A and B are shown apart, each in its own frame.
Chain A
Amino acid sequence: MSRQHQQIHLAAHFPGVNNTTVWTDPRSRSQIDFDSFEHLARTAERGLFDFFFLAEGLRLREHNGRIHDLDVVGRPESITVLNALAAVTERLGLAATVNATFNEPYELARRLASLDHLSGGRAAWNVVTSSDAFTGENFRRGGFLDRADRYTRAAEFVATARELWDSWTPDGTSRPFAHTGGHFTIDGEFGVERSPQGHPVVIQAGDSDEGREFAASAADIIFTRHGSPAAGRAFYADVKRRLARYGRAPEELKIMPGVTLVLGDTAADAQEKAAEIRLQQVSPQTALLTLEQIWGVDLSGYDPDGPLPDIDPDPDSQLTQGRVRHGDPLAVAAKWRALSEEKGLSIRQTVIEANGRQSFIGTPAAVAAQMTEFVAADAADGFILVPHLTPGGLDDFVDRVVPLLQERGVFRTAYSGTTLRDHLGLPYPGERG
């Protein structure tokens, strides 16, 4: 197979509870009504996508001791939505983000096996590891898990779930299981027959060294933030290199960055739309709040259209809760100040500039070419597309870009199998003896 024809995998991410999602647009619909989920899932299936993806957060985000109110807030529980979507789709994979800290293997393995049965082999689980005490306040055990242990628990959780899934033979015989480990000591019988995929597909979304190692040892897909060609290539090489240690081949782990895109009739039209969307994503209030998340202090007295604050960030601030914090605040603040001074940008303009552009901007032909090139250059195996509008944000992509990817021979023209493992070309797990 020539490098130009490396196949692309595609997934549809339901718009999240962050400012990528534009809710002020008149086309924006409910983030909670089933209609919205059905629309996006049907669009993804029409586009022959590999899977549909739902994120999760187990506590509403807070800022300065109050519930964050500037972005979309509130969403339904993933696995239940996906079971319902299994009724209105036939081939599309169905991926739920579910936390490994505030769940237990028996119950979750059972729920995922049930989804796999009810969807005819289309279930996937994005294993996330948030373990903070803030989120723990909603659960029986509170913030019981040390951050350093988040991946040892996740790894043992996934291994245990697979032991449970393997406890039924393919011909329908249940055998007792017993697991003894640092995090779980359980035994008995698993109450769900082996499901069509044997093991639902496992996705990992975390970027630390431990996260990458866990993915190399146990995941089928990595959902990553490295959506630029350069960062993508480095990440791809790093993670694929780790696979040999676990006796795995490079094709057994798919790298799929989360990406955004803007289509236009001309390159200039697309750029113009992209700028407009960035302005919608960063309202004056969001600009100040984004700055507060880095500075860690109240900046409500500042003018979003004025210059950046000259005070220094508080690196130990607890101002923001329930959100993953990126990078060293002092370094980020220095970078943003430099950016603002160099280009003469206000607070809002700086935030827009620093938050970066959409991953793919251009005509359908240009976007199809960029995506093909991205994958051919070993920067990814495919993409998790994050639309900015609910629920119609991928309509154009499916209508205008998918046919071009198909023409290029880099994307399927029909589903060739029925399960998500089939779509991804992943092996079926061998049964344990």
Chain B
Amino acid sequence: MAVPTGTLHLAAAIDGDGQYQAPYYVELARLAEEGTLDFITVDDTFGPPGPGRGRLDALAVLARVAPATGRIGLVPTVTTTHTEPFHVSSAVATLDWVSRGRAGWRVEVSATEAEARLVGRRPAAPAGELWAEAGEVADVVARLWDSWEDDAEIRDAATGRFIDRDKLHYVDFEGAHFSVRGPAIVPRPPQGHPVVAVAATDPVTWQTAARHADVVYLRATSLEEAGRIRDELRRRAVAHGREPGALTVLAAVAVDLADGEGAPGTAPAVNSPVALIDTPGGPPLYRGGPAGLAELITGWHTADAVDGFHITPVAPRHDLERFVNGTVALLQHRGLFRTFYPGAALRDHLGLSRPASRYALEREAAR
């Protein structure tokens, strides 16, 4: 399953539990964009992140960030268990419209009893069942995006028709848990399909990730382990009839750049071996300086263990700044990472082509 070592992809989380002010997120997003990262993420849970704690709706935050940025991809977590697939499709498509083609979403489930009680429609269910349903949601969401062909809007004054309704399609999706008639109420988003991400840090997600995701994050503390997991995910993607390279696999790493290596910009020697600390419940932790992190990224990427990294700065303002001005600057200097955005859409950054609507293809084939 050889896929040649390709472009390095970098993404960063800009979460801020208890941060309710837009400027906090805008500042971090612009910083990440200065570093020409592929995308930023904002995490979310259906319920509160913990007792007595709060956070904003992630898709809302990134919609607010969209007009304040120009190129960087925007990937909020959106949950599928207690939400309506139809609304999820509309909201992500709209994020793509307001960002002019920079949207994605990270599929997540809500497995706790506490979350089930916030809605009161269904009891908590095992994660395996919820991830199977999440796969159905990802499926119908993409069908809804396809339900308008790209050229459905015709504005034909002679016949008085605004759309060619032959180019709008019912999706008639029947899942194990829900059905959706369609078509979408939102025209096809600029990217055709906004990017789908899955945090494949637990094997329970792998089937859904391999089948529906464009980007997956994996959890590994060594490059050997990372390579093994990537191979497994690619094997499963192929089993679903996809190209192995259809998955962009990023290693999830929390980074704490608090006290390593002095000022960014200089290129200090890295004298201690770069190691990741296994942290239960979160991504493995890198603690050290920006140059050491650049070493780690370079090592894993050139060994072709992963396609890139999704980093979670431990102290976002400080660590993201050092990541961009230190680690990313070094990677750029070595010619390993882009210095400008050649494309405008998130799919461009990821090297993904824009898919045709499946219904347009079916209609073509039937002619």
Contact = CB atoms under 8 A, between A and B. Distances in A.
B93 A139 contact: no
Contacts of B155: 23-24
A415 B65 CA distance: 25
Nearest to A115: B60
Contacts, number: 195
A57 interface: yes
Nearest to A164: B118
Interface string A8-35: 0000000000000001100000001110
A188 B113 CA distance: 10
Contacts of A83: 60-61, 63-64
A80 B84 contact: no
Contacts of B95: 80
B125 interface: no
A75 B57 contact: no
A120 B100 CA distance: 24
B123 to A, nearest CB: 13
Interface residues of B, number: 71
Contact of A67 (B94, B114, B163, B186): B163
Contact of B185 (A24, A58, A117, A193): A58
Contacts of A184: 120
A285 B93 contact: no
B178 interface: yes
B84 A188 contact: no
A283 B46 CA distance: 47
Given A70-B160, A80-B91, A33 B120 contact: no
Contacts of A102: 84, 87
Given A24-B155, A77-B87, A193-B20, A111 B178 contact: no
Interface in A231-275: none
A138 B182 contact: yes
A32 B100 CA distance: 11
Size category, A interface? 35 or more
A128 to B, nearest CB: 14
Nearest to A24: B157
Nearest to A280: B157
Contact of A34 (B22, B45, B97): B97
B118 A188 contact: yes
A319 B293 CA distance: 64
B355 interface: no
Interface stretch (B48-56, B241-249, B310-318): B48-56
Given A84-B66, A107-B82, A107-B83, A67 B165 contact: yes
A60 B168 contact: yes
Contact of A186 (B53, B83, B118, B185): B118
A302 B266 CA distance: 81
Given A103-B87, A104-B119, A114-B60, A74 B20 contact: no
B159 interface: yes
B223 interface: no
Contacts of A117: 20-22, 56
B148 A87 contact: no
B67 interface: yes
A149 interface: no
Nearest to B161: A69
Contacts of B115: 188
Interface in B50-88: 51-57, 59-61, 63-68, 82-87
A139 B185 CA distance: 13
B367 interface: no
Interface string A148-176: 00000000000000000000100001100
A191 B47 contact: yes
B334 interface: no
Contact of B97 (A76, A111, A118, A190): A76
B162 to A, nearest CB: 6
A392 interface: no
A86 B64 contact: yes
29 contacts: A24-B157, A58-B185, A60-B183, A67-B163, A69-B162, A72-B162, A74-B187, A76-B186, A79-B60, A87-B64, A87-B65, A87-B67, A103-B87, A106-B46, A107-B83, A114-B60, A115-B60, A118-B64, A120-B22, A139-B86, A139-B178, A185-B120, A186-B117, A188-B48, A188-B117, A189-B47, A189-B48, A190-B48, A192-B57
Given A32-B97, A140-B121, 17 more contacts: A32-B187, A69-B161, A80-B94, A81-B97, A83-B61, A86-B22, A86-B64, A88-B67, A104-B119, A114-B61, A117-B20, A118-B56, A139-B178, A184-B120, A188-B118, A189-B47, A191-B45
